[in-house]
Chain A
Amino acid sequence: GNSVTQMEGPVTLSEEAFLTINCTYTATGYPSLFWYVQYPGEGLQLLLKATKADDKGSNKGFEATYRKETTSFHLEKGSVQVSDSAVYFCALSTYTGNQFYFGTGTSLTVIP
């Protein structure tokens, strides 16, 4: 079956610290992988995506690389800001492209 496992939170970091949020997946076929971010009181927003092995998605200083050999899609940022405080969700879409599986979310708080 299809599933996403991401690291438990909450995560608290100081401003300018390095961020890694781990995500691994199980999928049949060749999924696309995504990171979504949810700010308080809002819906989810697409942060970045990768559609095939070795692709690197990047946006707003965040990066993630699609690693087929380790079935991983870890999210990284070199220097976090207070404004990055949010809940981050790793997700995959099925080969047919119309069903998503989300991880449970990782809450990030960045303190000044």
Chain B
Amino acid sequence: KAGVTQTPRYLIKTRGQQVTLSCSPISGHRSVSWYQQTPGQGLQFLFEYFSETQRNKGNFPGRFSGRQFSNSRSEMNVSTLELGDSALYLCASSLNDPGNQPQHFGDGTRLSIL
């Protein structure tokens, strides 16, 4: 069974640009969550999608957005990139509720802002 796939693995952008990251969940999983991981802040919850609807959102500015497609694949978009957006972005999928079934994480997209 294929795991959670995140693309691309590495990305380099400059300030002011925008970026789109992609996440393909495990087949049959309907919940997709996104996290930002930085050395200083640890893992911070961005948002969670289920059946194309955002169910929960963390405390991030509106520059961070996401969506989920009918096949459960998800994308997150960051506009007007800032230096502080440099981080590892992790996606996780679960069957329905990530708190009640195991979350399966991808290997992440490492975003570097120059």
Contacts and interface: CB of A to CB of B under 8 A. Distances in A.
Nearest to B91: A43
A101 interface: yes
A32 B100 contact: yes
Interface string B67-103: 0000000000000000000000010100001111011
Contact of B99 (A98, A102, A103): A98
Contacts of B97: 93, 96-98
Interface in A25-59: 31-32, 36, 41-46, 49, 51
A10 B104 CA distance: 25
B15 to A, nearest CB: 27
Interface of B is mostly: strand
Contacts, number: 70
A98 B43 contact: no
A99 B56 contact: yes
A94 interface: yes
B21 interface: no
Contacts of A98: 31, 33, 48, 50, 55-56, 97-99
- Considering the complex of A and B, which 6 residue pairs feature the smallest CB-CB distances, nearest first? A93-B99, A97-B99, A43-B105, A97-B97, A104-B42, A102-B43
11 contacts: A43-B4, A43-B90, A45-B105, A46-B103, A93-B97, A93-B98, A98-B56, A99-B45, A99-B48, A100-B45, A102-B44
Interface of B: 4, 31, 33, 35, 41-45, 48, 50, 55-56, 58, 90, 92, 97-100, 102-108
